Amino acid sequence: MATAHPLPAPAGAPQPAGAPHPGAAAAERAHAGEGVHALVAAPQPPQNEDEPVFLAPIPQLPVELDVTVPVREFRVRQLLALAPGQVIETQFSHGDDLPLAAGDVQVAWSEFEVVESRLAVRVTRLA
């Protein structure tokens, strides 16, 4: 045999006269000193207010960075004629900062540097 249980009233629906408030039981237990526990723990405040707090593993996600070297006045015929050893002149002069991006978002300006025979990028300023 099935037992009938009343359904909760939709949000914003008027409560019948004399009906207790939906949160009244929890409030009474808290007032009486009984422990009322949340289903999810509340986040702890940051130890250092200058550092952001991430509640998910966001800092461990990989991000691919791109350094773009714009070449103006480059034509399809030049692209088709590319050969090993060919030098392509850019609009940047030696020492100019190059844009550093994550996807479509520019995050910094950078410059090329050689570190132990490997090409590297040094961040010069944030975008």
Give one DSSP letter per residue of 86-121, joined into a string: -----SPPTT--EEEEETTEEEEEEEEEEETTEEEE
More confident residue, 68 or 86: 86
d(C-alpha 65, C-alpha 23), whole Å? 50
pTM over the 0.85 mark = no
Structure confidence by residue, pLDDT tens digits, 24-45: 555 555 455 555 555 566 566 5
Average pLDDT value for residue range 106-116: 90
Query: How does the average pLDDT of the chain come out, rounded?
Result: 74
Backbone phi, then psi, for 105, in 5-degree steps?
-110, 120
- Least confident window among 48-57, 80-89, 104-113: 48-57
Tell me the CA distances in angstroms from 94 to 30, 77, 90, 91, 119, one per residue in order: 69, 26, 10, 10, 15
What pLDDT, on a 0 to 100 scale, did the predictor assign at position 73?
85
Residues in the chain: 127
What pLDDT, on a 0 to 100 scale, did the predictor assign at position 102?
92
Pairing of strands 98-102, 105-115: antiparallel
